[in-house]
Amino acid sequence: MSVPMAGRTIRLIGLDPGLTHTGWGVVESQNDRLRFVASGRVSPPGAGGLADRLDALYRELQGILEAQEPAAAAVEETVVNVNPGSSLKLGHARGVVLLAAAHAGLAVHEYAAKTVKRALVGTGGADKSQVAAMVRRLLPTAGTLSADASDALAVALCHAHHAQTTARLRTRTML
Using an 8 Å Cβ cutoff, are 163 and 1 in contact? yes
The catalytic residue among 32, 76, 110, 127 is 76
Q: How remote is the C-alpha of 101 from its chain's centroid?
A: 11
Question: Is 76 one of the catalytic residues?
Answer: yes
Question: Is 16 one of the catalytic residues?
Answer: yes
Using an 8 Å Cβ cutoff, are 29 and 10 in contact? yes
d(CA 139, CA 94): 25
Q: For 18, list phi and psi in degrees, rounded to 5.
A: -170, 150
The catalytic residue among 16, 28, 60, 151 is 16
User: DSSP string spanning 114-146?
Assistant: HHHHHHHHS-TT--HHHHHHHHHHH-GGG-S--
* Nearest residue to 15 via CA among 89, 108, 84: 108
The catalytic residue among 28, 60, 148, 151 is 148
Question: Is 148 one of the catalytic residues?
Answer: yes
Count H helices and E strands in the chain, helices first.
5, 5
* Catalytic residue set: 16, 76, 148
